[in-house]
Amino acid sequence: MQRFDGRRLRRLRESAGKSPEQLAIACGRSAQTISLYERSRVSPPSDVLGALADELGCSAGDLFSHEDAVVA
């Protein structure tokens, strides 16, 4: 199961040397919205996922955690 992972977004942003404000401008969002994404309060829509990935030099899949499904 895949879930958007705000912690990954933050790590990738910091690794890219970008501030939340810089990422927000590049993606057409506010810094407050980037903060919401990074804290996993909301998930970005698909068009924003693509913009985030492009700006950070990763794939959209890199912004998701990959949890193994537990079969009972």
Query: Does residue 71 lie in a domain region?
Result: no
Answer whether residue 72 is part of any domain: no
Give the total number of structural domains in the chain: 1
**Between residues 70 and 16, which one has the greater pLDDT?**
16
Specify the pLDDT at position 70.
52
Domain assignment of residue 17, yes or no? yes
Distance CA(3)–CA(18), nearest Å, equals 23
| Res 25: pLDDT | 97
The CATH number given to whatever domain includes residue 11 is 1.10.260.40
Q: What is the pLDDT of residue 67?
A: 67
Measured distance CA(38)–CA(36) in Å, rounded: 5
Residue 35: the pLDDT is 97
Q: List, for residues 11-69, the tens digit of each pLDDT value.
A: 999 999 999 999 999 999 999 999 999 999 999 999 999 999 999 999 999 999 976 54
